Chains A and B, each alone.
Chain A
Amino acid sequence: MSAQRIRLLSDHLTGAALVTIAVLAGVLLVLPTLVVILASFTSTSYLSFPPAGLSLRWYARLLASDEILRAARTSLIVAMLATAGALGLGVLTAFPLVRGRFRGRDAVLAFTLAPIMLPSIVLGIALLFFFGFLGIRLSLSTLVVSHILITFPYVVRTSAAALLQVDAVLEEAAANLGATPWQTLRHVTLPLLTPGLAVGAGFAFIESFDNLALSIFVAGQRQETLPMRLFQLLVSDIDPVVAAVSATLIAASFVVLFAVYRLAGFGQFMRVIGERRAQLP
C-alpha cells in the first residue's frame, strides 16, 4: 500500500514539474507582447512597468512624428512592390515545378528556396558589396529587388503546394469543353489557387514589412523602413514612442491573422506560421 502511495506521489510530482515548466514557457512566450502593449499606455516619460498612470500621449507622439510616419509609408510601399514582384515571379516558377516534367526539377526547386536558407545578414553584406561593385546607388529599387529575393521563395512554396491540390482533371475537362489554355488558367486554375496565393502573398508582405537584417544594408539614404527607424530609436536611447508603434503593429498583425483565420480557416492559418519553419531542410 505504501509503495502505491509513493508511486502516486512521484507521479504527481512528475506531472507538477512538467506542468510548471510548461507554464513558465508559456509566460516567457507571451510576456514581451503583453508588456509592450501595457507600456504603450504609460504616462511617464521613462519606461516603467506597471505603468504609473494611463495615457495615450505616446500614440499622440506617434501620430505627430513625421519620421515614423514616413518610415511606415516607405515600409508599406516596399512591402507592396516586393509582394507584387514575389507573387508574379513565384507563381510563374511554381507552375512548371509542379506541372512540368523536366530533368533537374528537384534541383531547381531547392535552388529557388535557397535565398531563405541563408542568414539575412550574409545576404545583406553580399548585396551591399554587389551593388557597390556594379556602381549601382542604393535606392528604392535595390531595396525592393532584395526583398523580392527573400520573399518569392515563400510564394513558390505556397503556390506549389496549392497547385498540387488542384486536380489536373478539372483543367483537362475545361480544355475538352473547348476552353483555350488562357481561359482554363483564368477561369479554372487561378480561382482554385486563390487561397494558397493569398497565404503566400500575405506571408511575403509580412516578411518584407518586418525585415531589418537585409534592409539596413541595401536601403538608400532616403528609404528608411519602419523596422530601421525603430531600430535607430532603440539603439540610441529607449524612446517610449516605440511602444505605441509596436502595440499598433501587434494589433495590425492580429487583425491580419484573424482575417486569414476567418477567410481560409485554421489550417491555412497554421500554414502561414509553419512557413517560418521552412528555413531548414
Chain B
Amino acid sequence: MGRSSALVLPALLFLLGVFVLPLVLLAAIGVFPVRGTTIVWERPDLAPYLRYVTDPFYLRVTVRTLGMAAAVTLTCLVLGFPYAYVFTRVRPAWKTLLLLVVVSPILTGTVVRSYGWLVILGRRGLVNDLLLSAGVIGAPLRLLFTMQGVIIALTQVMLPFMVLPVISVLARQNPSLYDAAVGLGASRAQAVRHVILPLSLPGILAGSALVFVLAFASFTTPALVGGGNFIILPTLIYQQTQQSLDWGVLSAISFVLLGTSLLVVWGYSALVRRLGLGWAEQ
C-alpha cells in the first residue's frame, strides 16, 4: 500500500501548479505593485485594499451584492419550503415529477437559463405582454437590468439547492410524526409550524448557506439579466478586466468574495454545532 499512495502525487503536483500557485499570486498582487504582468517584489502595502474600502462605488457594489444574495436566499426559502413539504405529502408518481421539475434548472445550461429570463422579463417579454393585454399596466414595466429581475432569475437557478437539502432531511423523518400531531389535535398549520419546520431546520440551514454562497459569487445570470446597469462583485471583476487592469483591486475584490463565502460556511457549521443539528449530517 505504500506504493499506491504515490498515485496521488500527479494530482497534488497538478493542484500545486495550476491551483495553489495562481491563488498565491492572486494574493500577492493585492499587496505588491504590478507592472504589466510582473510583480514588483518590494515593500508590500495594502494600497489596493484601501482603494477598495475608501471608494464609495466599490462599497456600494459590495452592499448591493450582499443584499441581492440575502434576497435570493429568502425568496428561495419562502418558495422552497412549501415545495419540499408538498413533495413529502404526495404519491410516488408525483414525487418523480416534482423532482424532475425541481432539478430542471440544473439540467439546462447557465446561458440558456438566463436567455429564458431575457425573453420573459424583456420590454416586449411575456410578463409585460400579459400585463399590458390584461390592462393592468399602461406602459411596459422595466424588469430587465434591475435588481428585482436578477433576484427572480437567480431564485429559479438556486431553488434546487434549497429544495433538495430540505427534501433529503424530511425524507429521513418518520411521516407519522406529522400524522400523530394532527391526530392529537394540532391544526395543519400547527403541525407544519411545530413539527415539519423544526425537523427540516438542518436542510433549511444547509440550503440557505449554499444558496447564499452560490448567489453571492454567481456571474452568468447577473451579467445577462442585470446587464451593465445592475453590477455586483463578480460582474464587476469581469467588467474591470475588459476595461483597465487594476490587478490590485481585482485581487482585493476576489478575496472579499472568497472571504465572504468562507465566513458563511464557517457560520453555518458553527450554527449547526451550536444548535446540535449534527444528527442530520449523515
- Interface residues of chain A, those whose CB is within 8 Å of chain B, are 7, 10-11, 14-15, 17-19, 21-22, 24-26, 28-33, 35-36, 39, 46-49, 89, 92-93, 95-97, 99-102, 108, 111-112, 114-115, 118-123, 125-130, 132-133, 135, 145-146, 148-149, 152, 156, 209-210, 212-213, 216-217, 227, 230-231, 234-235, 238, 242-243, 246, 249-250, 253-254, 257, 266, 270, 273-274, 276-277, 279-281
Contact = CB atoms under 8 A, between A and B. Distances in A.
B117 A231 contact: no
Interface string B149-165: 00011011001110111
A212 B188 contact: no
A89 B112 contact: no
B79 interface: yes
Q: Interface on chain B toward A: helix, strand, loop, or mixed SS?
A: helix
Contact of A92 (B7, B80, B87, B129): B7
B250 A231 contact: no
B188 A96 contact: no
Nearest to B224: A234
Contacts of B79: 21, 24-25, 28
Contact of A18 (B82, B101, B112, B206): B82
Contact of B257 (A122, A210, A266): A122
Contacts of A234: 111, 114-115, 118, 224
Please name the 7 residue pairs, one residue from A and one from B, whose CB atoms are nearest each other, closest first: A32-B116, A119-B217, A132-B37, A130-B22, A126-B22, A21-B82, A25-B79
A25 B103 CA distance: 12
Contact of B109 (A21, A129, A210): A210
Contacts of B234: 119, 121, 213
B5 A100 contact: yes
A280 B266 CA distance: 11
B107 A254 contact: yes
Contact of A238 (B10, B118, B213): B118
Given A48-B124, A89-B10, A15 B219 contact: no
Contacts of A17: 82
Given A32-B115, A47-B119, A130-B21, 6 more contacts: A25-B82, A28-B79, A92-B10, A121-B254, A238-B118, A281-B269
**Most central of B26, B161, B265 by chain A CB within 10 Å:** B26
Nearest to A118: B258
A36 B10 contact: no
A108 B7 CA distance: 12
A227 B111 contact: yes
A21 B26 CA distance: 44
Main secondary structure of the interface of A (DSSP, over half): helix
A133 B209 contact: no
A14 B187 contact: yes
B15 A274 contact: no
Place the interface of chain B in its size category. 35 or more
A277 B122 contact: no
30 contacts: A19-B82, A22-B86, A25-B159, A25-B163, A32-B108, A32-B120, A32-B153, A49-B125, A93-B7, A96-B7, A102-B2, A111-B15, A122-B237, A123-B22, A129-B22, A133-B37, A152-B14, A227-B109, A234-B118, A235-B224, A242-B115, A246-B109, A246-B116, A250-B108, A250-B112, A253-B108, A273-B107, A276-B160, A277-B165, A280-B265
A1 B52 CA distance: 67
B111 A46 contact: no
Given A22-B83, A112-B11, A249-B112, A32 B19 contact: no
A235 B118 CA distance: 11
Contacts of A99: 1, 4
Given A96-B7, A125-B254, A133-B39, A15 B108 contact: no
Contacts of B124: 46-48
Contact of B241 (A7, A123, A146, A217): A217
Contact of B112 (A26, A49, A149, A246): A246
Contacts of B85: 18, 22
A246 B115 contact: yes
B177 interface: no
Contact of A47 (B37, B104, B107, B125): B125
Interface in B114-142: 114-120, 122, 124-126, 129
B210 A33 contact: no
